[in-house]
Amino acid sequence: MSATLPTPDGVPLPQRYWAILTIALGLILAVLNGAIANVALPTIARDVHTSPAGSIWVVNAFQLAVTVSLLPLASLGEIYGYKRVYKGGLILFTIASLFCALSSTLPVLIVARIVQGVGAAGIMSVNGALVRFIYPRAWLGRGVGLNATIGSTASAIGPSVASAILSVAHWPWLFAVNVPLGILAIIIAWHHLPNTPRTRGKFDVASALLQAAAFGLLLIGISEMGHGDAPILIGLEIASGLGIGAFLVVRQLSRTAPLLPVDLLRIPLFALSVASSICSFISQGMAVVALPFLFQHTLGLNQVTTGLLMTPWPLSVAVIAPFAGRMADRYPAGLLGGCGMTLMAVGTGLMGFLPDHPTTFDIAWRMTLSGIGFGFFNTPNNRAIIGSAPPHRAGGASGMQATSRLFGQTTGAALVALVFAALPETGPVTALLISAMAATVAAAVSFSRLAAR
- The answer on 286 and 424 residing in a single domain is yes
Q: Looking at 217, 234, 254, which one is the last position of a domain?
A: 254
**pLDDT confidence bin for 142, thresholds 50/70/90:** confident
Q: What is the pLDDT of residues 170-212, one digit of tens each?
A: 888 888 989 999 999 999 999 888 887 777 778 888 888 888 8
Task: Say if 448 falls within a structural domain.
Answer: yes
Closest listed residue to residue 125, CA positions, set 319, 304, 220, 261: 261
- The answer on 158 and 72 residing in a single domain is yes
Tally of domains within the chain:
3
Which domain covers residue 135, as residue numbers? 9-202
- The answer on 420 and 365 residing in a single domain is yes
Q: Looking at 202, 227, 246, which one is the last position of a domain?
A: 202
d(CA 95, CA 170): 19
pTM of the model: 0.80
**Cβ-proximal residues to 20 (8 Å cutoff; 6+ apart), any chain:** 134, 143, 146
- The answer on 379 and 275 residing in a single domain is yes
**pLDDT confidence bin for 78, thresholds 50/70/90:** confident
Task: Say if 124 falls within a structural domain.
Answer: yes
- The answer on 61 and 21 residing in a single domain is yes
Q: What is the pLDDT of residues 14-41, one digit of tens each?
A: 888 898 899 889 888 887 776 677 667 6
- Over residues 330-346, mean pLDDT: 92
Instruction: Tell me the DSSP string of 243-279.
Output: HHHHHHHHHHTT-SS-SS-TTGGGSHHHHHHHHHHHH
Task: Say if 1 falls within a structural domain.
Answer: no
- The answer on 247 and 112 residing in a single domain is no
- The answer on 129 and 195 residing in a single domain is yes
- The answer on 243 and 270 residing in a single domain is no
Closest listed residue to residue 174, CA positions, set 24, 34, 21: 34
Q: Which amino acid is at 330?
A: R
| CATH at residue 401 | 1.20.1250.20
- The answer on 321 and 237 residing in a single domain is no
Task: Say if 407 falls within a structural domain.
Answer: yes
- The answer on 234 and 192 residing in a single domain is no
Dihedral Cα 57, 63, 64, 68, nearest 10 deg = 160
The helix/strand/coil state of 383 is helix
Q: Reply yes or no: is the peptide bond before residue 14 cis, omega within 30 of 0.
A: yes
- The answer on 361 and 432 residing in a single domain is yes
Task: Say if 139 falls within a structural domain.
Answer: yes
Task: Say if 17 falls within a structural domain.
Answer: yes
> Are residues 85 and 122 in contact, defined by beta-carbon separation less than 8 angstroms?
yes
In this prediction, residue 53 carries a pLDDT of: 58
d(CA 81, CA 146): 23
Per the rule left: phi > 0, alpha: psi between -120 and 50, beta: everything else, 198 is beta
d(CA 243, CA 150): 38
Is 303 a residue whose pLDDT tops 80?
no
**Cβ-proximal residues to 426 (8 Å cutoff; 6+ apart), any chain:** none
